């Protein structure tokens, strides 16, 4: 059988290695720890959970639960092990992280055809089938190599991301679509504020608790400054920055268009091709999640906004997947090279495991010259892959599983107002598609 290289024995890499070992391939699994550490990992074990020990909900009526269910149906080993190592946590799947990594290690060691090599991988050999799954803390040397191999200037390093909300949870009695000075299409959703509303927002912001920063996270770019840092420079800094009100008018209000209507405006930009998700422009933040919620809900129009991604700040690396990858997670330039895990721009443990599995399935199919797996965006895994490889993002940013990226249902709009009805339908449709794929 052919030899396959898998780089990084993290969540995605371990899942991929086990899947392909089961198929009989010779696997070189290359991991740099413990010789070189990432700054976040603490052990020498594979599939280490670096922060929380939760894989999120197991309810298949939740986006994260559906993703896990799909991956389990497709043959995931790591989710199976997670259930085995589960600790009580209500409706979510949380694990004993040390026990879990030990289990993964035992399985890897039990396969004679997995050769675990403890070294830092620096040069990509495009003649060998390879899955690169080195995660958000990929070593600098490999980052440089990826950048050179793919001639990709947009190989991102980012420090902070802004929250994303669901459009259908925005109150359009207050919010409205417009572009600044009416230029081009009215692409932005605008949430206007009076002086009193801005002062209330500012007070909440300035008194909010920030998440602690580790050493490796401490530097951020000026152009990507967290909103709380900007606010600490002066009460009006935001009104001259991301919240500037000039040129934004609500046409429902009769006014002299030369005058400003509002004291400050929060703008939201479309984030997905189906226009279900909108990110808060310039609102990258490192506030703890509870405080972010309070802050966002203090914005007129976002009182009940459903936040599908909170702002986070940590050292993170992700490739420009829309340019580099096709919808099989294979690079467009070198057919032998696939990427998986957080490095592709998915975010989260479950997402990393699932894309590790997806890349492994496709590597197997590719080497056997069979049709590669092609899931539609009616499935959560298909929607994630579709999102990260969609070529027309204005600015590609990482994404986790959420309902906003999944295909619309063709059903009675009145019935779809019922969330349980809607999610049951979406979930059943996704599981049916996966089962059909497996049967075929």
Ligand X SMILES: Cc1cc2nc3c(=O)[nH]c(=O)nc-3n(C[C@H](O)[C@H](O)[C@H](O)COP(=O)(O)OP(=O)(O)OC[C@H]3O[C@@H](n4cnc5c(N)ncnc54)[C@H](O)[C@@H]3O)c2cc1C
Is 77 one of the binding residues for ligand X (CB under 6 A)?
A: no
Min separation Cβ 234 and ligand X, Å: 31
Under a CB-based contact definition with an 8 Å cutoff, are residues 363 and 369 in contact? no
Is 120 one of the binding residues for ligand X (CB under 6 A)?
A: yes
Q: Find the binding residues for ligand X in span 300-359 (CB under 6 A).
A: 314, 341-343, 348-349, 352
Of the residues 4, 6, 9, 107, which one makes contact with ligand X according to CB under 6 A: 9
Is 52 one of the binding residues for ligand X (CB under 6 A)?
A: yes
| Structural tokens at position 370 | 């069979």
d(C-alpha 29, C-alpha 4), whole Å: 8
Is 29 one of the binding residues for ligand X (CB under 6 A)?
A: no
Min separation Cβ 35 and ligand X, Å: 9
With CB under 6 A as the contact rule, which of the stretches 104-112, 133-141, 205-213, 427-435 interacts with ligand X? 133-141
Strand order in the sheet with 337-339: 114-117, 26-30, 3-7, 130-132, 337-339
Is 220 one of the binding residues for ligand X (CB under 6 A)?
A: no
116/416 with CB nearer ligand X: 116
Count how many Cα atoms sit within 13 Å of the Cα of residue 260 in the half-sphere of its side chain. Answer: 12
Q: Find the binding residues for ligand X in span 226-285 (CB under 6 A).
A: none
d(C-alpha 115, C-alpha 108), whole Å: 9
Is 136 one of the binding residues for ligand X (CB under 6 A)?
A: yes
Q: Find the binding residues for ligand X in span 140-159 (CB under 6 A).
A: 142
Is 402 one of the binding residues for ligand X (CB under 6 A)?
A: no
Min separation Cβ 68 and ligand X, Å: 12
Is 61 one of the binding residues for ligand X (CB under 6 A)?
A: no
Under a CB-based contact definition with an 8 Å cutoff, are residues 335 and 128 in contact? no
Min separation Cβ 97 and ligand X, Å: 11
Is 121 one of the binding residues for ligand X (CB under 6 A)?
A: yes
230/325 with CB nearer ligand X: 325
Task: Give the footprint of ligand X on this chain (CB under 6 A).
Answer: 7-13, 30-33, 38, 40-41, 50-52, 120-121, 133-139, 142, 314, 341-343, 348-349, 352
């Amino acid at each position: 059988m052919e030899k396959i290289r898998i780089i990084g024995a993290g969540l995605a890499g371990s899942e991929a290695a086990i899947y392909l070992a089961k198929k009989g391939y010779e696997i070189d699994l290359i991991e740099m720890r413990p010789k070189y550490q990432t700054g976040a990992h603490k052990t020498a074990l594979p599939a280490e959970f670096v922060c929380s020990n939760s894989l999120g909900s197991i309810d298949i009526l939740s986006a994260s639960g559906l993703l896990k269910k799909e991956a389990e149906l497709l043959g995931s080993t790591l989710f199976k092990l997670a259930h085995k190592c589960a600790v009580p946590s209500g409706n979510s799947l949380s694990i004993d992280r040390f026990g879990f990594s030990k289990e993964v290690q035992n399985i890897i060691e039990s396969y004679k055809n997995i050769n675990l090599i403890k070294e830092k991988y620096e040069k990509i050999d495009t003649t060998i089938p390879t899955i690169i799954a080195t995660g958000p803390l990929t070593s600098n040397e490999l980052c440089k190599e990826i950048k050179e191999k793919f001639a990709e200037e947009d190989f991102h390093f980012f420090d902070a991301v802004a929250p994303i909300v669901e459009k259908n949870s925005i109150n359009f009695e207050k919010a409205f679509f417009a572009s600044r000075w009416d230029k081009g299409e009215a692409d932005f959703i605008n949430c206007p504020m009076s002086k009193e509303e801005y002062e209330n927002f500012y007070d909440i912001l300035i008194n909010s608790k920030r998440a602690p920063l580790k050493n490796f996270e401490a530097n951020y770019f000026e152009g990507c400054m967290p909103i709380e840092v900007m606010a600490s420079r002066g009460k009006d800094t935001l009104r001259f920055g991301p919240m500037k009100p000039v040129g934004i008018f609500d046409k429902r209000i009769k006014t002299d268009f030369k005058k400003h209507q509002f004291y400050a405006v929060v703008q939201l930009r479309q984030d997905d091709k189906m226009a279900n998700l909108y990110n808060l422009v310039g609102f990258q933040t490192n506030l703890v999640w509870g405080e972010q919620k309070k802050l966002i809900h203090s914005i007129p129009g976002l009182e009940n906004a459903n936040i599908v991604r909170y702002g986070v700040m940590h050292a993170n690396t992700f490739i420009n997947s829309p340019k580099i990858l096709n919808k099989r997670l294979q690079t467009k330039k070198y057919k032998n090279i696939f990427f998986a895990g957080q490095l592709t721009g998915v975010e989260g443990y479950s997402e990393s495991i699932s894309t590790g599995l997806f890349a492994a399935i496709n590597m197997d199919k590719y080497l056997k010259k069979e049709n590669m797996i092609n899931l539609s965006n009616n499935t959560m895994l298909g929607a994630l892959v579709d999102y990260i490889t969609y070529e027309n993002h204005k600015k590609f940013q990482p994404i986790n599983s959420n309902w906003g990226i999944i295909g619309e249902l063709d059903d009675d709009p009145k019935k779809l107002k019922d969330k349980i009805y809607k999610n049951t339908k979406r979930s059943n449709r996704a599981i049916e598609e996966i089962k059909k794929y497996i049967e075929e």
